[in-house]
Amino acid sequence: NISIDNDIGRPLVNLIRSPSFSDYLSGSDHAVPLRLLPTPEQERCFQVEVTTFGGGDRLIFVKDISEQYKLEMMRRDFVGNVSHELRTPLTVLKGYVENLQSLDRSIIEKIERPLAQMEMQVVRMEVLLKDLLWLSRIESIEHSDKTSSVDLGELTNELVGDLRAAWPDREISLSRSHDGLILGDPMELHSAVSNLIVNALKYSDPQSPVVVEWLCEKGHPTLHVSDQGEGIDPTHIPRLTERFYRVDKSRSQKTGGTGLGLAIVKHVALSHNAELNIESQLGVGSTFSLVFESNDPA
Ligand SMILES: Nc1ncnc2c1ncn2[C@@H]1O[C@H](COP(=O)(O)OP(=O)(O)O)[C@@H](O)[C@H]1O
Ligand SMILES: [Mg+2]
C-alpha cells in the first residue's frame, strides 16, 4: 500500500512495519541477507541485502523470493510427510521380524542370519526416519522466536553424564567457566550438543579423550567439542553439514551414522543465531564449536 505521492521522503521503517527489518537496518552486521517471511497480511517472501557506503549511506536491495520459499516449504513438508508415513509400515515389519526371531531355534535355524540382517536394517531405517522427522521439525520452526532461557552449561553437564554411562570406556571431560543463559529451545540444543559429542566419540580412537568446554570467548558464549581423532580433510569441511554427507561412506555404515547429524546441528545453530565452526587437522583431531550471540538475558 505504498503511494509515491504520499510516502516519498518518509522513513523506510515507517513503510515496512517489521521489527526484524528495522533491527536489521539499524544493526551493523549485514553479512547475511535478511528474509522477510510471509505473514497473514502479506503472502510474499522478500530477501533484503544492505550495502554500506562511506558517510553512513546505505543501498538496499530487495528481492522477491516467494517462489524459492514456496519450493523450500514443499521440499520440507514432503520429507516430513514421507518420513511420517513410512513409520507405520516399518513398525509392522519390525514386529514380524521380532516374532520370527522368537520362534524355536529348530524352525529358524536356516534363516537366522538373514533375519539378523533384516533386524539391523530395520533399526537403521528407524534411526534415519527419526533424524529426518527431527530435521524437518527443526527447519519448520527455524524462524520461531526462542523464548526460554537455557542453561547450556547445565544441559551439557547432564548430557555428558548420560554419555559417560552409555560409553563407559571413554573419557569425556567437561569444563564450565561460563554461567550465563542463552535464549533457545532446550530440546534442539540438546540434540545439537549430543550430535557433536557422539561424533567426537565415534570418530576418534577409543583410548583418546573427548574434551567439552562451555565458556565465554570474546564476549560470545561458546561450546567447544574437541577430539583427538582421525580429523577431516579440508576439502570435506564445507560440505559436512549437507544432508547425508559423509566423508567415508563405507566406514560410516559400520559406525551406524545417518549423515544427518551435522545437518541437524547446523539448523539448530541457524535457528539460534549461532555459528557452527569446524576446525580439523587430519590425524590430529577436530574441534566443533557453537558460538552464540553475546546477549545475555540473565
Ligand atoms: N569429530 C569428527 N571427527 C572426524 N570426522 C567427523 C567428526 N564429526 C563428523 N565427522 C564426519 O562428518 C560426517 C557427517 O557427520 P554427521 O552428519 O554427524 O553424520 P554421521 O551420521 O555419519 O555421524 C561423518 O560421517 C564423518 O565423516
Ligand atoms: Mg553423527
For position 189, which CATH number holds?
Answer: 3.30.565.10
Q: Do 45 and 156 lie in a common domain? A: no
Q: Give the pLDDT confidence score for residue 56 in this predicted structure.
A: 80
Q: Give the pLDDT confidence score for residue 257 in this predicted structure.
A: 81
What one-character DSSP code corresponds to residue 237?
G
Q: Do 42 and 117 lie in a common domain? A: no
Q: Do 232 and 270 lie in a common domain? A: yes
Average pLDDT over all residues of the chain: 91
Q: Where are the alpha helices (DSSP H) in 141-183?
A: 152-166
Is residue 201 lining ligand 1, measured as CB closer than 6 Å?
A: no
Q: Do 59 and 135 lie in a common domain? A: no
Is residue 278 lining ligand 1, measured as CB closer than 6 Å?
A: no
* More confident position, 72 or 143: 72
β-bridge mates for residue 35, sequence order: 47
Do 122 and 94 form a contact (C-beta atoms < 8 A)?
A: yes
163 has a pLDDT exceeding 90 = yes
Residues of the domain holding 229? 148-291
The domain that contains 89 carries what CATH number?
1.10.287
Q: What is the DSSP string of 92-120?
A: HHHHHHHHHHTS-HHHHGGGHHHHHHHHH
Amino acid identity for residue 79 in this structure? V
Do 54 and 80 form a contact (C-beta atoms < 8 A)?
A: no
Q: Give the pLDDT confidence score for residue 52 in this predicted structure.
A: 86
Inside any domain, residue 134 = yes
142 has a pLDDT exceeding 80 = no
Q: Give the pLDDT confidence score for residue 288 in this predicted structure.
A: 98
For the ranges 68-77, 141-150, 193-202, 209-218, which has the lowest average pLDDT?
Answer: 141-150
For 159, 212, 265, 267, the CA distances from 222, given in Å and listed in that order, are: 17, 11, 14, 17
Instruction: Report how far ligand 2's centroid is from the alpha carbon of 52 (Å).
Output: 40
Residue with CA at minimum distance from ligand 1 atom 8:
199
Inside any domain, residue 296 = no
Instruction: Report how far ligand 1's centroid is from the alpha carbon of 18 (Å).
Output: 39
Q: Give the pLDDT confidence score for residue 254 in this predicted structure.
A: 64
Grid coordinates representing 202?
565415534
Inside any domain, residue 257 = yes
Q: Do 59 and 77 lie in a common domain? A: no
Inside any domain, residue 273 = yes
Q: Do 166 and 280 lie in a common domain? A: yes
What one-character DSSP code corresponds to residue 39?
B
For the ranges 124-128, 139-143, 185-189, which has the lowest average pLDDT?
Answer: 139-143
Inside any domain, residue 218 = yes
Give which of 198, 156, 197, 191 is closest to 177, Cα–Cα. 156
Q: Do 261 and 154 lie in a common domain? A: yes
Binned at pLDDT 50, 70 and 90, residue 31 comes out as confident
Average pLDDT score over residue span 134-156: 84
Number of domains composing the chain: 3
Inside any domain, residue 298 = no
* More confident position, 15 or 48: 48
Instruction: Report how far ligand 1's centroid is from the alpha carbon of 132 (Å).
Output: 16
pLDDT in tens, 249-261: 766 666 668 899 9
Single out the residue in 76, 110, 140 at which a domain terminates.
Answer: 140
Q: Where are the alpha helices (DSSP H) in 141-260?
A: 152-166, 186-202, 249-255
Single out the residue in 43, 64, 85 at which a domain terminates.
Answer: 64
